[in-house]
Amino acid sequence: MQENEFKYYESIGNWNFTDIKYITEKLTNWDFYEIIKENTNQKSLCLDLGTGGGEKVLEKYPNVGMLIATDFSKEMITTAKKNAKKYPDKKIKFAYMDNLKITFPNNIFDLVSARHTIIDAKQIYNCLKKNGILVIEGIDKNDCIELKQIFGRGQAYNDKISISQKDYKDIKEAGFSSIKKVEILENEYYKTEEDLMALLLKTPILDNFSEFENNEFEHYKIIEKELFKKYVQKYKTEKGILLKRRLYGIVAIK
């Protein structure tokens, strides 16, 4: 288990950003939930890995036969079960599971999705049916790079091989037959400095789990004021404070 990440997500216990005011401008048209919709129907059996507090899947996942949504944080799953009460018609079950130790039998899912979480391509391959689909959206070193450069640190900032390259390679080696990788570009505009600060305090954008020994990791609770001001001055626009998101999407067929 990734001890640092586990402790971090357990302490947060939800992945809810509704209190932070920002708008998103999509610069590319790849959409994670649209891709899932295009590849499922009302009979599909789906698995969503690293689902957080279920906030996104409850709101955005298309209607499928059954969605099993898992996370290794018990706090996240407790939150997800609470959140699910607001969606009584959604065919969804939340369960505790480590993405790196998938416990489902082979050849059962029509589609496996994973958004902003770690994957093991071979284990996903095994639990997908023949012609089953893998859809992932990920974050790597170039996300918010302007901010990371000012702070000289951040999520995956010092990675020699980017997570997207590694995922692509692992997916290929796992045996998937058709693999498409795309770059996803989005501009987010944060209404106030407090909104951007709230994002940085809640997410690991300025952290790097892998650079700390297990149990030594501490989430940066302090964001250096001077550096933050420097970023805000440079990226303040009429629409808000700009944060350039650079994500990647991968769709693969078994």
Ligand X SMILES: C[S@@+](CC[C@H](N)C(=O)[O-])C[C@H]1O[C@@H](n2cnc3c(N)ncnc32)[C@H](O)[C@@H]1O
- Return the number of the residue (40 or 123) whose C-beta is nearest ligand X: 123
Least CB distance to ligand X at residue 7 (A) = 10
Q: How far is the CB of 229 from ligand X (least distance, A)?
A: 27
- Range in contact with ligand X (rule: CB under 6 A) among 111-119, 192-200, 222-230, 242-250: 111-119
| Residue 245 lies near ligand X (rule: CB under 6 A) | no
- Alpha-carbon distance of 72 to 123, in angstroms, equals 16
Interface with ligand X: number of residues (CB under 6 A): 19
What stretch of H or E contains 84? helix 74-84
C-alpha distances in angstroms, 218 versus 6, 31, 72, 206, 211? Answer: 12, 33, 19, 12, 11
Q: Is 116 a binder of ligand X (CB under 6 A)?
A: yes
Determine, following the binding rule CB under 6 A, whether residue 100 of this chain makes contact with ligand X.
Answer: yes
143 binds ligand X (CB under 6 A): no
Structure tokens, 91: 């065919």
Sole window of 87-95, 112-120, 145-153, 187-195 interacting with ligand X (rule: CB under 6 A):
112-120
Pick the piece of the chain touching ligand X (CB under 6 A) from 2-10, 124-132, 158-166, 230-238. Answer: 2-10
Q: Given candidates 4, 36, 67, 98, which one binds ligand X under the rule CB under 6 A?
A: 98
Q: For the chain, where are the E strands, in sequence order?
A: 22-26, 45-49, 66-71, 92-96, 109-115, 128-139, 178-190, 236-237, 240-253
* DSSP structure class, residue 62: P
- For ligand X, give the closer residue by CB, 51 or 83: 51
The nearer residue to ligand X, 11 or 106, going by C-beta atoms, is 11
Please spell the DSSP secondary structure of 104-167, one letter per residue: SPTT-EEEEEEESS---HHHHHHHEEEEEEEEEEEE-TTTTHHHHHHHT--TTTT-SS-HHHHH
Q: Which is nearer to ligand X, 213 or 238 (CB)?
A: 213
Closest CA to 80 of 37, 50, 35: 50
Q: How far is the CB of 209 from ligand X (least distance, A)?
A: 9
Contact 200, 15 (CB under 8 A): no
Q: How far is the CB of 12 from ligand X (least distance, A)?
A: 8
Q: What is the DSSP letter of 175?
A: T
- Subset of residues 37 to 96 that bind ligand X, contact rule: CB under 6 A: 50-52, 56, 71-73, 76
Determine if 168 is a binding residue for ligand X (CB under 6 A): no
Q: Least distance in Å: CB of 75 to ligand X?
A: 8
Q: Taking a C-beta distance cutoff of 8 angstroms, is the pair 114, 71 a contact? A: no
Shortest separation between residue 61's beta carbon and ligand X, angstroms: 11
Q: How many CB atoms lie within 10 A of CB 161?
A: 10
Residues that bind ligand X (CB under 6 A): 2, 5, 9, 15, 50-52, 56, 71-73, 76, 98-100, 115-118
